[in-house]
A = this chain, B = another copy of it.
Amino acid sequence: MTPTITAFADSPGRGRGLARDIRVRWALEEVGQPYGERLLSFDELKAPAHRAIQPFGQIPTWEEDGLVLFESGAIVLHIAGRHPGLLPGEAHARSRAICWMFAALDTVEPPIFERSLATVLERDEPWFAARLSVLDARVRQRLGELLRRLGNADWLDGDFSAGDLLMASVLARLEGSGLLGGYPNLAAYLLRGKARPAYQRAYAAQFAVFLRSRSAKDPAAN
C-alpha cells in the first residue's frame, strides 16, 4: 500500500525547502518508495480531523495500512527501518547512525530553530539585537562542535545515513543567515546532501506544491 504524507498546501517557507515534509520526501526518494501527498491549509492543520492524526496540528504525517505516525524524525526512522539504504546493516553502526538522527533534531536543531523563530517573531522588539547575538553564539557553538567531529569526512559516520539526511536538513535552515560561511566544511557537507538525486527529487516535489499554490493565488505570477 502506498503511504500518504501530509504537507502544507501553502507553505510558509516560500519554496526554500524548509518545511519538514522535505525530510520524509527525501527519505522516501532515497529508498525508492512511491508516496501520495495530502495538502493541508492552515485552517485544516488546526481542525479536529487533522488533530486526530497529529495532536499538535503540524505536518508531516504518515498514513499507511492503518498506521498513523507523526514527527518527521519518527517517520524517517520508520522508513529507514523498513528499506535498505538509510541505515547500516551492522548493529553498532546502525545504532550510531540513529544517534546522529537524535543529535540533529535534539542538539543541533533547537538553537537553529530558536534563531529562525526570533528573526520572525522578535525582529521589531527593542531587545532583538541583543538576543540575536546570544542566539548566534549558541548556533556557532554547535556548528564548531559538529565541524570538529566531521573533519574532512563526507558524512558523519561512514556512508550517508538517515543521520546525515536529518543533519543536512537542519543545517539548511541556516542558508541565508551568513552563519555557515564560517564553517566551510559544513557548508560543503550541506551541499553534498542537497546534491543527492533523491534530495533533488524531494525538493522538486515540494517546490511544485509551492508553485501551484502561488499560481492559484496570483495566476499572473506565472
Q: Spell out A's residues near B (CB within 8 Å).
A: 51, 55-58, 66-71, 73-75, 77-78, 92, 95-96, 98-99, 101-103, 105-107, 109-110, 113-114, 121, 125-127, 130-131, 134, 142, 145-146, 148-149
Contact = CB atoms under 8 A, between A and B. Distances in A.
Contacts of A110: 110, 113-114
Contacts of A70: 99, 103
Given A110-B113, A126-B127, A67 B95 contact: yes
B95 A78 contact: yes
B58 A107 contact: yes
A142 B125 CA distance: 24
A75 to B, nearest CB: 8
A131 B121 CA distance: 11
Contacts of A96: 67-69
A134 B142 CA distance: 25
Nearest to A109: B106
A56 B95 contact: no
A106 B105 contact: yes
B102 A56 contact: no
Nearest to A81: B95
B148 A99 contact: no
Given A66-B92, A71-B107, A73-B106, A56 B145 contact: yes
B148 A71 contact: no
A142 B74 CA distance: 18
Contacts of A56: 103, 107, 142, 145
A74 B98 contact: yes
A113 B105 CA distance: 14
Which of A58, A71, A101, A121 is packed against the most chain B CB atoms within 10 Å? A71
Contacts of A130: 125
A46 to B, nearest CB: 10
30 contacts: A51-B145, A51-B148, A55-B103, A55-B148, A55-B149, A56-B103, A56-B107, A56-B145, A57-B145, A67-B92, A67-B96, A69-B95, A69-B96, A70-B99, A71-B106, A73-B106, A74-B99, A74-B101, A74-B103, A77-B98, A78-B98, A102-B105, A105-B105, A105-B106, A106-B106, A106-B109, A110-B113, A114-B114, A121-B134, A125-B130
